[in-house]
Chain A
Amino acid sequence: MLGRLALQRLLAAIPTLFGAIVVVFFVLQLIPGDPVRAMLGENASAEEVEEVRDSLGLNDPLAVQFLRFAGRYATGDFGVSIFSRQPVIEEIGQRLPSTIQLALGGVLVAVVLGVPMGVLAAARRGSLIDHLSLGTSTLGVTIPNFLVGILLSFAFASKLGWFPTLGAGSGGLWSTINALVLPSLTLGLAGMALVARMTRSAMIEALGEDYVRTANAKGLSQRRVVYWHALRNAAIPIVTIVGLNFGHLLGGTVVVELVFARPGLGKLLLDALLARDYPVVQGVCFLIAVLFILVNLIVDLLQPLLDPRVQA
Chain B
Amino acid sequence: MGKKVLVVDDDPDVRLFNTTVLEENGYLPIEAENGEEGLQMIKSEKPDLVILDVLMPRQSGIRLYRELKTNASLREVKVLILSGIAKKTFLRSQQALTEFGESQVPEPEFYLEKPVDEDVLAATIKKILG
Do A and B pair up? The answer is no
